[in-house]
Structure 1
Amino acid sequence: MSLISLIIIIAVFAGLWKTYAKAGEPGWACLIPVYNLWVLVRIAGREWYWFVLFLIPLINIIVFIIISLDITKRFKQPMPFAAGLFLLPWIFYPILGFGSAQYQR
């Protein structure tokens, strides 16, 4: 069971790394807690204070939905893809990172 978990974790981090790199950010940023949210907010094209909103319980859920929508727009994916980024990030971030989607500023 732990081998399967390890494989899933590696796939998620590899997908995030590739997604960050496609957006022109350092891929290693996905590995550092808290800083990865800061970079995710920048990738989504939001202002710095959106990062602070991630730190507020319950508000952070709404913020994550909005950030997922923004990332979907930046990578020119269909809007239902945002639901996947929010609900199943361990599947959709590797799809985004390893797929053909290109980041648009």
Structure 2
Amino acid sequence: MDSNGIADLYASIFSGTTGLIALVFYVLVAIGLWKVFSKAGYPGILAIIPIVNIVILVRIAGMSGWLALLYIIPIVGFVFGIIVAIKLGERFGKGGVFSFFLLFVFPYIGYLILGFGDSRYSKA
């Protein structure tokens, strides 16, 4: 398949209803992360920059930003995502069940709850 064929394939996959739904979920996560970043003392604009938002999220969870590189290792990244979600929930006073289901499984809901809810960020 030549480069035009690949571009056409991507254009067909990310157009129409699927692309619109993906865009809506991305916007919901970005809005929630913006508020979460603001509560944690980081500039909210960093939430819309794809790789930077992961690094900042790991730092908010209380770990080194360099550990965000673990996300690129297939199985390790999955487990690390759960750990980050749980530690992030702890920083905002939420329990493990909330963190797993609403920050790892359904982040577009969980980040909105953290950002717009009454939970407060604590460093320790």
Q: Distance in 2 between matches of 1:8 and 1:63?
A: 22
Identify which of 33, 51, 54 aligns with 2:71. 54
CA RMSD of aligned residues (A): 1.9
| Counterpart in the other structure of 1:74 | 91
**1:100 alignment partner, SS class:** coil
Q: CA deviation at 1:7?
A: 4.7
Kindly indicate whether the alpha-carbon contact (under 8 Å) linking 2:36 and 2:115 is maintained by their aligned counterparts in 1. Answer: yes
Q: CA deviation at 1:97?
A: 0.5
Letter of the 2:97 partner, please give it. P
Identify which of 80, 83, 87 aligns with 1:63. 80
**Contiguous gaps of at least 5 residues in structure 1:** none
Q: Distance in 1 between matches of 2:77 and 2:25?
A: 24
Q: What is the aligned-residue identity percentage?
A: 38
* TM-score, normalization by structure 2: 0.76
The structure with the greater share of residues assigned to helix is 2
Q: Distance in 1 between matches of 2:113 and 2:60?
A: 17
Higher mean C-alpha displacement, 13-22 vs 42-51: 42-51
| Counterpart in the other structure of 2:57 | 40
Letter of the 2:73 partner, please give it. I
Alignment of 1:1-105 (within 5 A): 5=21, 7-83=24-100, 84-105=102-123
Q: CA deviation at 1:89?
A: 0.4
Letter of the 1:98 partner, please give it. F
Kindly indicate whether the alpha-carbon contact (under 8 Å) linking 2:86 and 2:96 is maintained by their aligned counterparts in 1. Answer: yes
